[in-house]
Amino acid sequence: MGEKIAFIGVGRMGSGMVARLIAAGHELAIYDPVASAMAPLAALGARVASSAADAAATSSVAMASVPGPADARETARLIAGSAKVKVFVDLSTSGPAAAQAIAALLAPRAISAIDAPVSGGVTGAAAGKLAIMASGPAPAMERVRPLLEVLGKVYRLGDKPGLGQTVKLANNLMSAASLAIAAEALAMGVKAGVDPAAMLEVLNASSGRNSATQDKFPKHVLNRRFDFGFANALSFKDVRLCLDEAEALGVPMVVGAAVRQMLSITHQIHGAAADCTDLVRVVENWAGCQIGSKEE
C-alpha cells in the first residue's frame, strides 16, 4: 500500500519527483503557489490542495521542494499544524541553519524532520537518478527511505539535522567553482587560437575535467544556448548559504568568496532570469572573445 504524501512545491524539480512518486503507487496531495504548475500532475492523479496545510491534512509524510530557507521554514510551520503528518522531508537546498530550525520547530509536534537536498537537476528528477543527501533520526529515515529511493540514490549522512544540507552546499559551491574556472580556462584557450571543442576533448581526457567541461560547455555553451536549466540566482543563493555556514564554523573560503563574487556580477549584468551558464558570458566579455558559436 502506498503512502499518503503531501508535496509542496511542484516546479521544475518538484514536478518530476511527484510524477515518479505517483507512478510508484503513492497517493499525492500537492500544493504550489503557481496554480498552472499543478495541472499536469492533477492529470496524473494528484489531488490539488488549496494550501500546504490542506495538503498535509490527509498525509502522513510531507515533502517540500521550495526555493530557499525562508520558504522551507514557512512550509514546515504550516505542516506543523497537521494532526496526521509524522515525517517532514525537505528536499530543497535551504542550508543547515534552516534544517536545524525546522527540526526544533517540528519536534514538539512529534513530527520528525529529514533534510534531504538533491543533486541531478531536472533530468535526474524525472529519471529517478538524483543524488539524495539525507540526515535525520534513524526511525524516520527508514520510513521515508523507500520513497526517496523512488527519486534516486540515498546517501545517509547521520542523525544530526543539517548534515545533508552541509554536503549539498559544498557540492553546489564546487559545481559553481568548476563553471567559473572552466570559463576562464576556455577563454584563455580561445583567445590564443585554440578551437574550444578540441580543447574540451583534451580537458575531458585529462585531470582538469569537471562537470562544466563534461556537460555544461559541450551541451549549453558551445551552441550559445546558455540553457542548462539551473538559475544563476539559485546558484548565487546556494553559494551565499555555503559561505555563511563556513564562516560560522570558522572555515576560510578564499576561493569560495571569489566564486560568490562572480555569481553576484552575473546576477547584476544578466538579471534574475539568468541561467547559471550566463556566467561564461561575463568572462567572455571581459576577455574579448567568444567560446563556441551557434553552428557548433
Q: Could you read off the pLDDT of 258-290 as tens digits, one per residue?
A: 999 999 999 999 999 999 999 999 999 999 999
Q: Which domain holds residue 101?
A: 4-161
pLDDT at 169: 98
Q: Could you read off the pLDDT of 208-256 as tens digits, one per residue?
A: 999 999 999 999 999 999 999 999 999 999 999 999 999 999 999 999 9
Q: Which string of b and e fits 233-267 if b means at least 16 CB within 10 Å?
A: bebbbbbbbbbebbeeeeeebeebeebbebbeebb
Give the domain-ending residue among 161, 177, 196.
161
- Asked if 165 and 98 count as a contact pair (C-beta separation under 8 A), the reply is yes
The reply to whether 16 and 54 lie within a common domain is yes
pLDDT at 295: 57
Question: What is the domain count for the chain?
Answer: 2
Q: Could you read off the pLDDT of 9-31 as tens digits, one per residue?
A: 999 999 999 999 999 999 999 99
Indicate if 168 belongs to the active site.
Answer: yes
Q: What is the pTM of this model?
A: 0.93
Mean pLDDT of the chain: 96
From the list 84, 86, 129, 168, the catalytic residue is 168
The reply to whether 241 and 154 lie within a common domain is no
The reply to whether 236 and 145 lie within a common domain is no
Distance CA(219)–CA(175), nearest Å, equals: 16
pLDDT band at 153 (very low <50, low <70, confident <90, very high): very high
293 domain-assigned: no
